[in-house]
A and B are shown apart, each in its own frame.
Chain A
Amino acid sequence: MSKYTEDDLEQELKTKEYEYGFYTDIESETFAKGLSEDVVRAISKKKNEPEWMTNWRLEAYRVWEKMDEPEWANVNYTKPKFQDIAYYSAPKAKPKLNSLDEVDPELLDTFKRLGISVDEQKKLANVAVDIVIDSVSVATTFKKTLGEKGIIFMPISEAIQEHPELVRKYLGTVVPTTDNFYAALNSAVFSDGSFCYIPKGVRCPMELSTYFRINEGGTGQFERTLVVADKDSYVSYLEGCTAPSRDENQLHAAVVELIAMDDAEIKYSTVQNWYPGNKEGKGGVYNFVTKRGLCETNAKISWTQVETGSAITWKYPSCILKGNNSIGEFYSIAVTNNHQQADTGTKMIHLGKNTKSTIISKGISAGKSQNSYRGLVQINARAENARNFSQCDSLLMGNDCGAHTFPYIEVKNKSAQVEHEATTSKIGEEQLFYCNQRGIDTEKAIALIVNGFSKEVLNKLPMEFAVEAQKLLEISLEGSVG
């Protein structure tokens, strides 16, 4: 399915270090470290926000102050010192650009090294890219094409200025500011992110994608994404992440809200490859994300994620199936290697009648890593004929890693049909022997088997991402089997 050959893989495997670990030297404007009401006000002022927005942030901050960090997840780490983080950093003098030529050449070079050639993508991939470097978007493409359809796709900070009525109406409705510790923190200090609105009956003609990167040492990144699909519309949204190598732990606490109105469909795909720390488990990104979608009648939300990076992953993309006949899907591959720890899964809350949800989760653990699936399937008393199918498979490589499953199933309706199954296994010696016999060496055989194991999820990704994800899987597991 790809142009990617085995020789390429071999090349990839030789570059053992994290290949995206570089640092772009762009003069940044960074706030002093620490968080207080003044900092929240300053962030808001910096972004020239209206008063309701400032108050909204302050409210979140006040709630956050009173909250404790969640400790229930199956992960161990030194807690970030929240007063030791700078809460705002942006490339200086945000340029207002109409074409890519005006973009800082150094930035463009960064994108090239990341493998995202903006101009190439513009021509070939038919993807509108809203690139975020340290929270502030500097390049937005295809805006015009989208504009003709009435689709709004812009940095959320601009959306607050240009479409305050939409943002105000929907922001925080799916993930309230009081939802959890990290969501509250994000609400108080989020610097930027994306806003997307698809009008009634419009089918978004292209995949919308945003590339996030963390830059600037010691900066936390707090993204806020809001996708609203109005009645009978469709959108496929892609999000991909890479981060440069850093020794000190970096905090990433994003919030993603999806709203699918009657008959609408949102497909949200993520490839996450934040810096996982070095082989001794030093450094790496802390990824504490709140993602949730709301489905109205006949709506559908589908989450697909490939998680290969981060030192700590704490992430549960969820669906609230509020409307009758709505559908929620969750497809996930989580790969952990070395000292990585992942506690990830989903929540499917069935409220409406005839609601359906599917959960396919594939966990692959290698090295000294810990990989947990944590999920909730809740069928409420009024959710007649709700249907859920969950499958969690874990693949263990080596004897120092762990795989954990924590599925919660809560059913209050007799017509519900809920199935959950989980398996844990390793790559069979016979499978490897079979490959070896046919001239495939062990390392490649493992890549092959892992790809097969993950196929159900990889197939759900849009083409461009599937290629990238497949590559990532192989790199992440490099050297994990001796």
Chain B
Amino acid sequence: MELKDKLLSSYVAFENDVDTNSDIHEIRSKAFQNFEDLGFPTKKLEDWKYTSLNSVLKQDYSIFPNKDNGIQLSDVQKYFIHDIDTYKLVFIDGRYSSFLSESTHDTFDVCLMSAALIKPKYKAVIENYFNKIAKKDNLTSLNTAFANEGAYIYIPRNIEVEKPIQIINFTTGSETATMLQPRNLIVVEQNAHVQIIERHQSLTSNSVLTNSVTEVFAAKDATIDIYKIQNDDKNASLVDNSYIEQKSNSIVSVHTFSFGGNITRNNLNFYQRGEHIDSILKGITIIEGKQHVDHHTLVHHIEPNCESHQDYKGIFDERSTGVFNGKVIVDKEAQKTNAYQKNNNVLISDRATINAKPQLEIFADDVKCSHGCTIGQLDNDALFYMQQRGIPEKEGKALLMYAFANTVLESVKIPEVKSRITKLIADKLGVNIGFDL
């Protein structure tokens, strides 16, 4: 059975499980209808020109995986950032694991979407924010149709969350192929501050397809830092759709570290609805084999005096392919916008491919917008210099690549995350050095 048909029939089963007499379900039904009309994206769509999901969609995914899983803390501990205290929202095969999680309702909510969608306490927030900025495109609609579980984070005014929040989705591989559709909502009120670390991890080599949607709202003066760590098994594919709306004076940064997975597609969308907003989008991609990472970013400057900074670095080895499609739209009213976009890539192998499309659409005249995109190699002179001084070629190359990616790492605010990423980069490059020479 085709995946689309399977999803269509699964929806009926899904409706038996959830309350169908609610506003939420109306949203789901509409989204479902939308997906039924649109189907899965194909390469004929401009947005999917360089990424084909065909091979991924062929798998026979289980839409509602087994409930039983005997996951112990020791099995998964290495995937946590465990050297600091954090709140944790852990989902195993799409289901919340209270045993591994550490949630809170103290002064703010770090809890479950499934609860937030039905409990009256959360009704106002859900009504105001749920599915408000998520696009009505095919994969987001599909997620909305099945939206039930995920992270729900609500930070009221003036609260600085004292420790980071980790959102981790594990797949156990209890089925030969699993499809997950987590749905997250993050609302940060005025002058509040939160740091979030997000990770998707498959525990076996069985196929996984994750179609995740996250909506983030940053009210006035709010600060949000999001770190996405993508270092999954080579049979796990991810489509990560993030939608971020910012109000005046807010600062939101998203760092995406793509080191693994089969096909990874990041749709990162920023909407600036206020003045003096700063949006920061950064990413490091280091992949090999037949891996494919596609970064699709959108920054929509709607009001004046805002800034956006994008910096994406990519290193591609073997037969991997990288895609960068960065779009900046500056509306007519958005005068004095300062939009900056940079994309640098290094190809290590002749069979690796990079497709880049840095796109600017500008309708205001008093703006500073620039983008730069380069594709090149490591500096042979620098490598030679290091070799002369007794640093072996492999380590020398690793150092150069680390230096190349370092502009992105510099702005990571949690030291433990930074050292974890540094370690991942060292693993990825096959060297045993700390880089903090």
Contacts and interface: CB of A to CB of B under 8 A. Distances in A.
B361 A408 contact: no
Given A406-B359, A417-B377, A72 B370 contact: no
A420 B373 contact: yes
A287 B124 CA distance: 55
A426 B373 contact: no
A411 B375 contact: yes
A409 B348 contact: no
A308 interface: no
A350 to B, nearest CB: 12
B357 interface: yes
A414 interface: yes
A274 to B, nearest CB: 25
A72 B49 CA distance: 13
A409 B352 contact: no
Contact of A414 (B335, B349, B358, B363): B349
Interface stretch (A84-92, A192-200, A394-402): A394-402
A421 B372 contact: yes
Given A407-B357, A409-B356, A400 B332 contact: yes
A422 B362 contact: no
Interface in A410-437: 410-426
Contact of A423 (B361, B364, B370): B370
A75 to B, nearest CB: 14
Nearest to B352: A414
The contact size tier of chain A is 35 or more
B362 to A, nearest CB: 5
A418 B374 contact: yes
A404 B357 contact: no
B96 to A, nearest CB: 43
B353 A422 contact: no
Nearest to A408: B357
A35 B71 CA distance: 71
A185 B97 CA distance: 64
Nearest to B327: A406
B369 A420 contact: no
Interface string B331-375: 010010000000001011111111111111111111111111111
A402 B356 CA distance: 22
B369 A423 contact: yes
A409 B370 contact: no
A403 interface: yes
Contacts of B335: 399
A398 B46 contact: no
B376 interface: yes
Contacts of A13: none
Interface in B312-346: 332, 335, 345
A396 B334 CA distance: 14
B335 to A, nearest CB: 8
Nearest to A395: B365
B367 to A, nearest CB: 6
Interface string B255-296: 000000000000000000000000000000000000000000
Given A72-B46, A399-B365, A414-B377, A422 B350 contact: no
Contacts of A423: 369-370
B361 to A, nearest CB: 5
Nearest to A72: B46
Given A410-B355, A421-B371, A426 B347 contact: no
B358 A422 contact: yes
B144 to A, nearest CB: 28
A354 to B, nearest CB: 15
Given A398-B365, A424-B362, A426-B366, 4 more contacts: A402-B363, A413-B347, A418-B373, A422-B372
10 contacts: A381-B350, A396-B364, A397-B365, A399-B335, A401-B365, A409-B373, A410-B353, A414-B350, A423-B369, A425-B369
Interface of B: 46, 332, 335, 345, 347-377
